[in-house]
């Protein structure tokens, strides 16, 4: 089954404790992206990747890192999480200009 998976689905952590949210797709898509969703703001792009070893900042990259060492994986790293990073996070993938398909979301709470 074609899908985008994210782990964990739910995470409660404390300020400053490094964490990684994994994202994996099995559709051989070149493009992958991370979004965060906050009430009243819709979804905003954090980082994106056009292909392996090609990543760039989106609209709200501060406090996040990503890597793309393999085509299927695109982890999101929070080196020192803060409460303002409490949010619902989505990973998405697509062929370069096709419809983006989203993972199930990761609900993160930073205390």
**78: which strand partners?**
19
Q: Specify the residue, 29 or 110, whose C-beta has the smaller distance to another protein.
A: 29
User: Greatest CA separation found in the chain?
Assistant: 38
- According to CB under 8 A, which one of 31, 64, 68, 87 is a site residue for another protein? 31
Q: Rule CB under 8 A: which of 33-72 touch another protein? A: 33, 35, 40-45, 48, 50, 56, 58-59
* Shortest Å distance, C-beta 64 to another protein: 15
Cα–Cα distance measured from residue 71 to residue 23, given in angstroms and rounded to the nearest whole number: 11
Strands (DSSP E) contained in 1-100 are: 4-7, 10-13, 19-25, 31-38, 42-51, 54-57, 65-66, 76-78, 87-94
* Binding stretches for another protein (CB under 8 A): 31, 33, 35, 40-45, 48, 50, 56, 58-59, 88, 90, 92, 94, 96-97, 99-102, 104-105, 107
């Amino acid at each position: 089954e074609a899908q985008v998976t994210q782990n964990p689905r739910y995470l409660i952590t404390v300020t400053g404790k490094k964490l990684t949210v994994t994202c994996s797709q099995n559709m051989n898509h070149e493009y992958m992206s991370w979004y965060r969703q906050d009430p009243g703001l819709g979804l905003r792009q954090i980082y994106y990747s056009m292909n392996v070893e090609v990543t760039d900042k989106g609209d709200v990259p501060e406090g996040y890192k990503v890597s793309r060492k393999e085509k299927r994986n695109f982890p999101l790293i929070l080196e020192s999480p803060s409460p303002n990073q409490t949010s619902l996070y989505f990973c998405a993938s697509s062929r370069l200009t096709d419809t983006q398909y989203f993972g199930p979301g990761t609900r993160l709470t930073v205390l």
